């Protein structure tokens, strides 16, 4: 006779181990430190990884600090994975960890095939969700394929710092420990669907205003003109034509509009020419939950003026 319990008792059903840290890079290092000994120690990463003098490189610093070897696969002009190059590198059998980054909150396409590659060549698949917390936890557009998921909490929520790592199962948990476990209560204190909806609304409102500018298609273009039905943006990336991206950045911030140039400088090891060029042209509009729709017109007009065409 099969017994049906009155309430759930099995801890293994739907369980995903989670650890909290001062930063995502701390969590990445904890994961890499505790990979099982049978896992090959070479890491395969995308060729678009940023670096800054103040912060270093969040996803790459743990690799170098542990003395691990790495290689880099290419990406397209829209930062989608070059699956052919990834497959070619993975096919060497040298890699034990495969990292995929969901840039600016947009889900990488072809994640099913990337998952197949990881399985075929025995690689642990890491989804870097530093920009995609809300996509993972509200719409599940990301974070469903990875064995390990990395989150940078302070990039998505009003927190001074914080990182989170989740694991698909206990298979790769071999000694990891939270260093800031109290962050769990902070993260749970926010209405994730409300914030996700607000970010999506702001992205759409911004793209509509930017596309209406006469300079669109000439002095700038949108990296992603439309928002996928399940993506939740971290920011809105714009490709500035010519060599004035840094001047635009300075002009906007001097007027009180908090633009950022994410990935403005790539790590020295990233050598794909097209990606190096891309990093010199992208600027990011804020579309986080604090932004007021009433401020968008002024922000877009200031952007237009900063392009040099009043």
169 and 204 share a domain?
no
The pLDDT assigned to 310 comes to: 45
Q: Look up residue 284 and give its two tokens.
A: 């990011």
Helix, strand, coil percent content, the chain, rounded in steps of 5: 35, 20, 50
CA dist., res. 73 & res. 117, Å (int):
13
Is a pLDDT exceeding 80 seen at residue 1?
Answer: no
The conformation of residue 303, written as its DSSP 8-state character, comes to H
Give a yes or no: residue 157 inside a domain. Answer: yes
Give a yes or no: residue 12 inside a domain. Answer: no
User: What CATH number is attached to the domain comprising 244?
Assistant: 3.90.1150.10
Is a pLDDT exceeding 60 seen at residue 2?
Answer: yes
| % pLDDT > 90, the chain | 93
User: What CATH number is attached to the domain comprising 116?
Assistant: 3.40.640.10
107 and 255 share a domain?
no
For the stretch 273-308, pLDDT in tens is 999 999 999 999 999 999 999 999 999 999 999 998
CA dist., res. 248 & res. 245, Å (int):
5
63 and 132 share a domain?
yes
pTM of whole model > 0.75? yes
For the stretch 157-187, pLDDT in tens is 999 999 999 999 999 999 999 999 999 999 9
Give a yes or no: residue 258 inside a domain. Answer: yes
196 and 183 share a domain?
no
Place of tokens 């994730």: 192
Number of domains in the chain: 2
Q: Domain boundary at 169, 187, 205, which? A: 187
Q: Domain boundary at 163, 187, 211, which? A: 187
- Across the range 13-23, mean pLDDT stands at 95
Give a yes or no: residue 7 inside a domain. Answer: no
The conformation of residue 143, written as its DSSP 8-state character, comes to S
Give a yes or no: residue 172 inside a domain. Answer: yes
201 and 176 share a domain?
no
Per the structure, the complete domain to which residue 118 belongs is given by: 18-187
119 and 198 share a domain?
no
Q: Domain boundary at 152, 187, 222, which? A: 187
Give a yes or no: residue 13 inside a domain. Answer: no
For the stretch 81-109, pLDDT in tens is 999 999 999 999 999 999 999 999 999 99
Q: Look up residue 112 and give its two tokens.
A: 């099913």
The pLDDT assigned to 12 comes to: 87
115 and 237 share a domain?
no
Give a yes or no: residue 5 inside a domain. Answer: no
73 and 166 share a domain?
yes
For the stretch 243-270, pLDDT in tens is 999 999 999 999 999 999 999 999 999 9
pLDDT band at 37 (very low <50, low <70, confident <90, very high): confident
Indicate the average pLDDT of the chain.
96
**Strand residues in 155-226 grouped as ranges (E):** 163-167, 220-222
In angstroms, the Cα distances linking 156 to 42, 152, 160 are 30, 7, 11
Give a yes or no: residue 9 inside a domain. Answer: no
212 and 181 share a domain?
no
85 and 230 share a domain?
no
159 and 196 share a domain?
no
166 and 246 share a domain?
no
Strand order in the sheet with 124-128: 18-21, 163-167, 148-152, 124-128, 95-101, 42-46, 70-73
Element (H, E) at 239: strand 235-240
Say if residues 257 and 308 touch (Cβ distance below 8 Å).
no
């Amino acid at each position: 006779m099969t017994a049906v319990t009155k309430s759930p008792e099995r801890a293994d059903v739907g369980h995903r181990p989670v650890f909290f840290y001062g930063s995502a890079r701390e969590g990445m290092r904890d994961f890499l430190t505790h990979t099982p000994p049978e896992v090959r120690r070479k890491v395969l990463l995308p060729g678009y990884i940023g670096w800054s003098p103040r912060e270093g490189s969040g996803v790459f610093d743990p690799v170098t600090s542990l003395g691990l070897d790495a290689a880099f696969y290419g990406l397209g002009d829209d930062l989608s994975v070059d699956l052919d190059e990834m497959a070619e590198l993975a096919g060497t059998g040298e890699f034990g960890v495969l990292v995929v980054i969901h840039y600016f909150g947009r889900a990488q396409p072809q994640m099913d095939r990337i998952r197949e590659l990881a399985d075929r060549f025995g690689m642990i698949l890491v989804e870097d969700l530093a920009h995609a917390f809300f996509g993972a936890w509200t719409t599940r557009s990301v974070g469903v394929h990875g064995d390990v998921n990395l989150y940078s909490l302070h990039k998505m929520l009003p927190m001074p710092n914080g990182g989170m790592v989740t694991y698909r199962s206990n298979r790769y948990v071999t000694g990891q420990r939270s260093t800031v476990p109290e962050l769990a209560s902070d993260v749970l204190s926010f209405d994730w669907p409300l914030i996700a909806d607000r970010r999506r609304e702001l992205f759409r409102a911004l793209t509509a205003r930017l596309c209406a500018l006469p300079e669109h298609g000439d002095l700038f273009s949108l990296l992603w003109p439309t928002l996928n039905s399940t993506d939740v943006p971290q920011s809105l990336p714009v490709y500035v034509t010519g060599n004035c991206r840094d001047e635009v950045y300075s002009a906007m911030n001097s007027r009180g509009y908090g633009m950022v140039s994410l990935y403005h400088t790539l790590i020295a090891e990233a050598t794909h020419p097209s990606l190096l060029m891309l990093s010199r042209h992208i600027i990011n509009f804020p579309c986080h939950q604090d932004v007021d729709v009433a401020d968008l017109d002024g922000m877009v007009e200031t952007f237009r003026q900063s392009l040099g065409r009043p």
